[in-house]
């Protein structure tokens, strides 16, 4: 649980940046080399590489080097951590809404 | 779009903390006073208040003071920002998967 929580912290911080979200978005269409990606973002290569490393360190993307080309691939499963957390919150709200509805129905029946 | 992106940055940073996620989780069951919440978290009140203020500053919770009691309520709509972003990524992957499937089917048909 502590590990899951630390991983989720990392994923959330990694996604809390417009450039890194744009990289995730781009890689959703398929793998790309660091060079191809860097050309799409208006910043110096060292700055861009920092973003790539943050995404990789949090396992949101995976990179493989072949010769001089490093190819980045999205790790969709990692985003599922966030999906799962959101789904868990929804289950709590919906459970609460169900209880509220039942309370209203029960109250109405009591008044009849 | 820039505003949406800045809001999403804030929401993600606010959620990148175990205590703040636990507060969101707790408020999913219904509103609670700051005092009630603080008792559930093993930290000094000033530290806890910082977390409450971060959640409030990013509109994930709303607080109303009545007399000496400040009541916190979850703003579920704010989490929808995150849901929407995740749904958008999924649409891209699924579009890509559809195209891949069509490519495989077309290739198989060509071979027949």
Per-residue pLDDT, A100:
65
Q: How many cross-chain Cβ pairs, A to B, lie less than 8 Å apart?
A: 65
Mutate to test the interface with B, among A1, A23, A86 (most CBs of B within 10 A): A86
Mean pLDDT throughout B77-104? 85
Residues in B 9-28 with any Cβ partner in A closer than 8 A: 9-10, 12-13, 15-18, 21, 24-25, 28
User: What is the count of structural domains for chain A?
Assistant: 1
- CA B70 distance to own-chain centroid: 22
A29 interfaces chain B, CB cutoff of 8 Å:
yes
Find the residue in A nearest to B6 (Cα). Answer: A18
Mutate to test the interface with B, among A12, A23, A51 (most CBs of B within 10 A): A12
A99 interfaces chain B, CB cutoff of 8 Å:
no
* Positive or negative: CA dihedral A4, A9, A14, A16: positive
Confidence tier at B76 by pLDDT (50, 70, 90): very high
* pLDDT tens digits along B13-54: 999 999 999 999 999 999 999 999 999 999 999 999 999 999
d(CA A2, CA A96) in angstroms, rounded, equals 26
d(CA B105, CA A93) in angstroms, rounded, equals 42
User: Per-residue pLDDT for A1 more than 80?
Assistant: no
Q: What is the DSSP string of chain A?
A: -HHHHHHHHHHHHHHSSHHHHHHHHHHTT--EEHHHHHHHS-S-HHHHHHHHHHHHHTTSEEEEEETTEEEEEE-HHHHHHHHHHHHHHHHHHHHHHHHHHHHHHHHHHHH-
Q: Which helix (H) or strand (E) element contains residue B78?
A: helix B76-111
Q: What is the CATH number of the domain that holds B66?
A: 1.10.10.10
CB A12 within 8 A of CB B86: no
- In angstroms, what separates the C-alpha of B29 from chain A's closest C-alpha? 6
Q: Do A79 and B86 touch (CB under 8 A)?
A: yes
Q: Do B96 and A17 touch (CB under 8 A)?
A: no
CA-wise closest residue to A28 among B8, B87, B90, B104 = B90
Residues across chain A: 112
What single-letter DSSP state applies at residue B30? -
Looking at beta carbons, which residues of chain B come within 8 Å of A93? 28, 74, 76
User: Per-residue pLDDT for B112 more than 70?
Assistant: no
Q: Among A32-46, B52-66, B95-109, which is the least confidently predicted range?
A: B95-109
A35 interfaces chain B, CB cutoff of 8 Å:
no
Residues across chain B: 112
ipTM of the complex: 0.83
Which residues form the domain of A104? 2-111
CB A34 within 8 A of CB A45: no
d(CA A40, CA A34) in angstroms, rounded, equals 10
Q: Do A21 and B5 touch (CB under 8 A)?
A: yes
């Amino acid at each position: 649980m502590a590990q899951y929580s630390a991983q989720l912290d990392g994923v959330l911080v990694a996604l809390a940046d417009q450039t890194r979200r744009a990289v995730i978005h781009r890689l959703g269409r398929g793998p790309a080399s660091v060079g191809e990606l860097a050309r799409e973002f208006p910043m110096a290569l060292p700055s861009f590489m920092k973003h790539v490393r943050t995404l990789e360190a949090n396992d949101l993307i995976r990179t493989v080097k072949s010769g001089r080309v490093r190819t980045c691939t999205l790790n969709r499963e990692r985003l599922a951590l966030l999906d799962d957390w959101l789904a868990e919150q929804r289950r709590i709200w919906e459970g609460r809404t169900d209880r509220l509805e039942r309370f209203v129905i029960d109250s109405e029946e009591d008044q009849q």
